[in-house]
Homo-oligomer: A and B are copies of this chain.
Amino acid sequence: MNVDLLIVNGYVLTMEDESNQLIENGAVAIIGQTIEAVGKSDDLRANYHAERIIDANNQLIMPGLIDSHIHTGLAILRGVAQDMSHWMQKGIWPFMKHVTKEERIKGSLVNILEGIKAGTTTFADYDTDMQDIVQHYVKIGARACVAEMVNEMPDDIDDLSVGELYPLDAKVGEQKLQKNVDLIERYHGAEDGRITCMLGPQGADMLSLNRMKQIADLAETYDTKLHMHVAQGDREIEQMEKRYDLRTIPFLEREGFLNERLIAVHLTEATKKETEKAAHSGASMICCPGSIGIIDGIVPPMYSFLQAGGTASLGSDQAPGNNSNNMFNEMKFAAIVNKVKYQDPAVFPAELALRAATIEAAKVLGIDHEVGSLEKGKKADIIVINFQEPSLSPVITKPTSNVIPNLVYSARGHEVETSIIDGKVVMEHRQIVTASEEQVVKDAQEAANGLAKRVSKKV
């Protein structure tokens, strides 16, 4: 049988089921966007004639990583708000209030290239002006589940400090929600299904109840999920208590938002009971261990959420604060911060972290019928990782395998040699083929120089 692409001679990690089985001397056959077969190299070479063959000798073939929560529009501010309390107000705001849309869009593309170079093939991007940002995904060829961030915060608000109840502006909410609807209308299913869209309410504290209900109705209409920050910080909880006399999760439960459509991001301030309630409701969770660890000094309750039977995945959040967008980082961080939180080295093993960046992430985003594992019929989102780096050597597969532990605790992203998304080679020999990395970095640097000058004048 003819196929377009055959990747052979590698270790294949399918992530198909919880055994996390490793096929030694394995191969993957691809026709168009789709995986045709996964198996032993000898078998696939015998059964398929390929247009093109990639030799993955001493390399690992695995599903592309999924970054479940990223705000690429903030990448232009990478690293300007670090190691401080009141990150939002004192760290990032003095810069953010001066950033132009053009600067944000330029930074966004750097962020996407950064992700691809570290093995990310799907980006759940959640930001402002998503109709502009989504063009990057169209052009670069990455998979994206995008949402326009919708809030009703007045444009001229200058202070988000804990204390007073924020004013909400219905007109702002209407406009932003319209942008989210336009995004869905135009891009949901675009690029032959590579782009999908969600609703993006920013948080229950930043929207009126009516607007929230309108968003929930739209999720039914479009049969999509709500990507939403939930219980993120004492600021949100205080707002919710002032506004509704309820903490976030009881509020969401009372109003009927706590269900399979909800993707609850962070849960930083959720109690154990609230976390369990969310997990039992069918809502899923996204945990950003690097961002929340560095910005808040908190380990989000992902482990409790999983113990309660919930589905959860990992995200890299934003560059200022985390401050890289690399799922290898997030896997490492998730494991180590949970081990030290519970003072138990057996908690959060490498396999769990890896699943949370692949197949479990696909489930959270509602795209597990398409990606997250290497199986016949799924979309060909595949990364090939060089295991001959000293830091990944030697490879031992018997009597125990060191492949997954080394992948999670030692790989850093630059070992990803090849990235295939939707059947197309997007990166090869670490060169992005769909953009000039040099130009993208240069454009962002020029934008940042202009921004820094403007901010310096105001400080």
Contacts and interface: CB of A to CB of B under 8 A. Distances in A.
Contacts of A84: 345-346
A293 interface: yes
B110 A390 contact: yes
Interface string A312-347: 000000010011111001001101110111111111
A350 interface: yes
Given A410-B323, A412-B326, A445-B394, A339 B294 contact: yes
Contact of A390 (B329, B349, B440): B440
B345 A452 contact: no
Interface in A386-431: 388-391, 393-400, 402-403, 405-406, 409-410, 412-414
Contact of A405 (B82, B348, B441): B82
Interface stretch (A25-33, A73-81, A155-163, A244-252): A73-81
Q: In the complex, which range does the number of interface residues on chain A fall in?
A: 35 or more
A209 to B, nearest CB: 32
Contacts of A347: 297
A38 B346 CA distance: 48
Task: Tell which of A324, A391, A445 has the most Cβ of chain B within 10 Å.
Answer: A391
Interface stretch (A60-68, A111-119, A169-177, A360-368): A111-119
B395 A445 contact: yes
A339 B395 contact: no
A295 interface: yes
B326 A455 contact: no
A356 to B, nearest CB: 14
Contacts of A217: none
A402 to B, nearest CB: 3
A113 B398 contact: no
A111 B409 contact: no
Contact of A337 (B298, B322, B340): B340
A340 B299 contact: yes
A394 B345 contact: no
A107 interface: yes
A410 B329 CA distance: 9
Given A399-B456, A399-B459, A394 B82 contact: no
Contact of A339 (B293, B399, B400, B444): B293
A390 B441 contact: yes
Nearest to A412: B412
11 contacts: A79-B410, A83-B335, A83-B346, A84-B346, A107-B394, A111-B390, A294-B336, A323-B410, A394-B441, A394-B449, A395-B445
Q: Which 10 A-B pairs have the closest CB atoms?
A: A79-B402, A394-B448, A324-B410, A83-B349, A114-B390, A412-B412, A414-B414, A82-B405, A79-B405, A297-B339
Given A295-B345, A298-B340, A394-B447, 19 more contacts: A78-B393, A78-B394, A82-B405, A83-B346, A83-B350, A84-B345, A117-B390, A294-B345, A297-B344, A323-B409, A336-B336, A337-B337, A340-B340, A388-B441, A393-B444, A394-B449, A396-B448, A396-B452, A397-B452
